[in-house]
Amino acid sequence: MSPHERAARVKLILLDVDGVLTDGSVLVHADGTESKPFAIRDGIALVWAQRVGVKVGLLSARHSPTTPHRAAQLGITLIYQGVKSKADAYAKITSALRVADDDVAYMGDDVVDLAVLSRVGLAAAPADAVEEVRCRAHWVSRYPGGRGAVRELVETILRAQQQWDRIVSSYLNEGAEA
């Protein structure tokens, strides 16, 4: 099955956070708090996916106080972080949502993502993912994590589902009624 055919089936997009939604950098401040950069274009694409009915969730082995804040900004309520086993968390998510493996896209960047990547219908990776992930992915972005990889994945899915033109048209027609 081609990546396009796989993308056409996607009902749920799950994403690792560090190295996928971010470039993998964590800034630790003198007071012990942390911050990390998120790309605006990745974020708006996730909003569009949800707008057309594709569920979006975050699945991270690392617990970070910034993740729920960014998720809230994007309307993402499905957040699993600090998980010991991504495979176990993935099984809970798909069971609870009653979503088949073939209907899930997952983007990961490191070996901790391999168990989930091996199960999903569309295994995706940013351009700067480790070799073990890139060689097992169905689709690899041209862009690195935190720098457009998620945006490109979402556009690929929405184009395969014939939703992209609808998103673009909604902005072209914005204000036309005025």
Question: Looking at the domain assignment, is residue 177 inside a domain?
Answer: no
Number of domains in the chain: 1
pLDDT for 133 beyond 60: yes
Strands of 21-159, DSSP E: 27-28, 34-35, 55-60, 78-81, 104-107, 122-125, 139-140
What tens digit of pLDDT does each residue of 69-79 get? 999 999 999 99
Hey, what are 35's tokens? 């911050």
Question: Looking at the domain assignment, is residue 178 inside a domain?
Answer: no
- CATH code for the domain of 17: 3.40.50.1000
Mean pLDDT of 135-157: 98
What rounded mean pLDDT belongs to the chain?
95
Confidence (pLDDT) at 33: 87
Q: CA torsion sign, 86 to 110 to 64 to 154?
A: negative
Question: Looking at the domain assignment, is residue 48 inside a domain?
Answer: yes
Give residue 176's pLDDT band: very low, low, confident or very high (50, 70, 90).
low
What tens digit of pLDDT does each residue of 10-67 get? 999 999 999 999 999 888 999 988 889 999 999 999 999 999 999 999 999 999 999 9
What tens digit of pLDDT does each residue of 160-175 get? 999 999 999 999 887 6
Rounded to whole angstroms, the Cα distance separating 137 from 38 reads 23
Question: Looking at the domain assignment, is residue 109 inside a domain?
Answer: yes
Question: Looking at the domain assignment, is residue 172 inside a domain?
Answer: no
Confidence (pLDDT) at 51: 96
User: Alpha carbon of 49 to those of 14, 54, 127, 133: distances in Å?
Assistant: 12, 5, 21, 24
Question: Looking at the domain assignment, is residue 175 inside a domain?
Answer: no
Beta-bridge mates of residue 56: 13
Q: What angle do CA 158, 52, 123 make, to 5 degrees?
A: 45
- Can you give the residue range of the structural domain that contains 79? 3-165
Helix pair 40-51, 66-74: axis angle to 10 deg: 50
What tens digit of pLDDT does each residue of 99-120 get? 999 999 999 999 999 999 999 9
Question: Looking at the domain assignment, is residue 170 inside a domain?
Answer: no
Q: How far is CA 156 from the centre of its chain?
A: 12
Question: Looking at the domain assignment, is residue 176 inside a domain?
Answer: no
Give the burial class of 119: count Cβ atoms within 10 A of its Cβ; 0-12 exposed, 13-18 middle, 19 or more buried: middle
